[in-house]
Amino acid sequence: MTVEIIEKHQSFGGQQIKYRHDSTTLKCEMTFSLFLPPETKTAMPLIWWLSGLTCTDDNFSQKGAFQAYAAKNRVAFVMPDTSPRGAVADSDDWDLGQGASFYLNATQEPWQTNYQMYDYLTQELPAIVYSLLPNFSGKESIMGHSMGGHGALMLGLKNPQRFSAISAFAPISNPMQVPWGKKAFTAYLGTATKTWKEWDATELLKTVGTKHAPILITQGTNDNFYEVQLNEQAFLAAADVADETINYRKEIGYDHSYYTIATFIEEHIAFHVSHLK
């Protein structure tokens, strides 16, 4: 497979690189971004970042303010795009279609042909990224924001042997019960709600139990999406039933923006590093 470098920038002694490749899983051209810390002979772990609705792989690389901490801790970061792109199914609604994949495998047309993001993130893209990492340690963790927070929780819980830590900013932790999730799941998965459970972090937490990685969540109290889309009560209740401890932090005055992410990203990276190393 040909992987082409689109752009490359030096940052804190490391390299921020944007790539393009033809995806056989998604049947379209895709981009992703990769941050490589300054090279050493030390084995390098990898953190996955999943972005939210309407985003691309550029949002976190340009606004996440993570590179200094990644360079200091000698961890690589990979930022996939949020959906298939180009001549694939789309919607006029901003919260459905391109930029809004919810990181699942669609079973309904017209989405099924291209929207196989779970397979892309668990099979095709990892193989590409691993080949680009010098001295990869084999250790991985995952984090994300909003829809990407849902993705990080969902992928982390479905793959407990793969990820050493999971964290999220303002995640959609119970998509089956909120408008964004209901809309996307109905379109991508159909109306049989029993099929939705395998993509919902709250439902997964009920079945995974103590096998999953440690979880850190940061939620701003001034997030205008919180009450309707991002409420944590069902997720934390499922954790209580499973006798699980979730490190859930509400930060006073912070909102849904990348200003919040930039403020607390050092804390999240430290959390991941403590489990990756």
Candidates 167, 160, 254; CA nearest to 213 is 160
Per-residue pLDDT at 191 exceeds 90? yes
Residue 192 pLDDT: 94
Catalytic residue among 145, 150, 212, 256: 256
Q: What domain count does the chain have?
A: 1
Question: Active site includes 256?
Answer: yes
Amino acid making up residue 203 = E
CATH number of domain containing 256: 3.40.50.1820
**What are the tokens at 273?**
């590093």
Residue 243 pLDDT: 66
Residue 165 pLDDT: 96
Residue 34 pLDDT: 98
Candidates 138, 89, 78; CA nearest to 111 is 89
Residue 209 pLDDT: 61
20-75 pLDDT, tens digit per residue, is 999 999 999 999 999 999 988 889 999 999 999 999 999 999 999 999 999 999 99
253-269 pLDDT, tens digit per residue, is 999 999 999 999 999 99
113-155 pLDDT, tens digit per residue, is 999 999 999 999 999 999 999 999 999 999 999 999 999 999 9
- What burial class does residue 264 get, using C-beta atoms within 10 Å of its C-beta: 0-12 exposed, 13-18 middle, 19+ buried? middle
d(CA 180, CA 260): 21
Other CB atoms within a 10 A radius of the CB of residue 74 amount to: 20
pTM: predicted TM-score of the whole model, two decimal places: 0.96
80-120 pLDDT, tens digit per residue, is 999 999 999 999 999 999 999 999 999 999 999 999 999 99
Residue 277 pLDDT: 82
Per-residue pLDDT at 241 exceeds 80? no
Alpha-helix residue ranges (DSSP H) falling in 48-200 = 58-63, 67-73, 117-119, 125-132, 147-158, 179-189
Catalytic residue among 141, 164, 223, 272: 223
Buried b / exposed e along 189-228 (16+ C-beta atoms within 10 A) = beeeeeebeebbbbbbbeebeeebbbbbbbbbeebebbee
Per-residue pLDDT at 173 exceeds 80? yes
Phi, psi dihedral angles at 107 (to 5 degrees): -115, -5
d(CA 224, CA 227): 8
Coil vs helix vs strand at 129: helix
Q: Which residue range(s) make up the domain with 155?
A: 3-275
d(CA 166, CA 213): 6
Question: Active site includes 146?
Answer: yes
**What are the tokens at 251?**
């930060």
Mean pLDDT of the chain: 95
Catalytic residue among 146, 164, 167, 173: 146
Question: Active site includes 95?
Answer: no
